[in-house]
Amino acid sequence: MKPTTPYRPLDITLPFPELTAYARTATRLHPRPGAPTAADSSVGGPLLWPEDEAWPECREHGRVRGVRLQRARRYEEILGAARARPCPDGTAGWAYTDAERAEVQEMADAGHRPDRHDGGPLPLLALAQFHVGDVPDLAAYAPPGKDLLQVLWCPFDGHDDGSYSDFGPSTRLFWRRAADVTDPLSAPPEPPIAEHAWYVPVPCVLHPEQIVEYPWADYLPPDLVDRIYAWEDDVEARVGRAAPTYQYDLSLAPGWKIGGWDSWHRTDLTRVHCDACGTEMRLLLTMDSCESQASWGPFPEPGCPTGVRAGRDEYRAFVCPADPAHPHRMSTQ
């Protein structure tokens, strides 16, 4: 069954019609483990990459240590299987078999003796690709004639190329026209290791769903925010602690998404500006560790299915609305 956002607890524009001016659509991607092909939109699937185009590399590393990709993928496979099993006491998830427990322990021990890569360029890791035809909110970002966005990253921290934030890998965005790829690359290179297992995505198919979002409160005029909080107090006094809140239930969705509004639940709001021209940038892609927060957990089952965690919860790509050729910037929460 296709994951779907539950009905909103209420329409926040009824008590606050002025929020209508701030409404933005977003497309929740709802990734779920599967076997995407290079023709599909996916997280962690193969990219539709021209055979005659060089695969991008990172040249910023000398000797690096990390976890082998094969090991990272096996780890996620075990977690997925354990999560899917009922526990002996009947509660949800994380029931390892003895063999799995031993294997996870062996991996944890191996973590103290990480694999090594000695210098030389590292091929980037395919992270995701999105077709404009699959993701309604992507068209607004596509440069003329392009209909496919591909995201790759170097799965290590500590880059110096401007395309990363303080916590997270260096990312590269590529736009192309899918129809131009007549001879796709069949076996793309991969880096042999990644800094963390959670920088290696589980192959997921997507179930895009367009929703409407309103801004994180720090983007709104302070007098409006004061009135929203007073309204929340009033609702809570009448219906009790389960009353929905603007920030977590009614404004913006967690999880992987294209477009919409950015959350600032970890830090104060920091407006992201373009390095090239100073224009305030616009949120393109949010990668999130989970999508189950508050009223937003999709039906039938919310999840944290990609295995990807960068930043503390979220890793977001912002792009310049003035010129799509200007470099993107990453931001974390």
Residues that bind Zn ion (CB under 5 A): 58, 60, 154, 156, 274, 276-277, 279, 320, 322, 326
Is the CB of 230 or the CB of 277 nearer to Zn ion? 277
Minimum distance from residue 194 beta carbon to Zn ion (Å): 10
Minimum distance from residue 309 beta carbon to Zn ion (Å): 18
Is the CB of 239 or the CB of 277 nearer to Zn ion? 277
Minimum distance from residue 111 beta carbon to Zn ion (Å): 20
Minimum distance from residue 187 beta carbon to Zn ion (Å): 21
Minimum distance from residue 322 beta carbon to Zn ion (Å): 5
Is the CB of 34 or the CB of 56 nearer to Zn ion? 56
Is the CB of 235 or the CB of 322 nearer to Zn ion? 322
- Secondary structure (H, E, C), the chain: CCCECCCCCCCCCCCCHHHHHHCEEEEECCCEECCCCCCCCEECCCCCCECCCCCCEECCCCEEEEEEHHHHHHHHHHHHHHHHCCCCCCCCCCCCCHHHHHHHHHHHHHCCCCEEEECCCEECEEEEEEECCCCHHHHHHCCCCCCEEEEEEECCCCCCCCCCCCCCCEEEEEEECHHHCCCECCCCCCCCEECCHHHCCCCEECCCEEEEECCCHHHCCHHHHHHHHHHHHHHHHHHCCCCCCHHHHHHCCCCCEEECCCCCCCCCCCCCECCCCCCECEEEEEEECCCCCHHHCCECCCCCCCCCCCCCCEEEEEECCCCCCCCCEEEEC
Is the CB of 93 or the CB of 114 nearer to Zn ion? 114
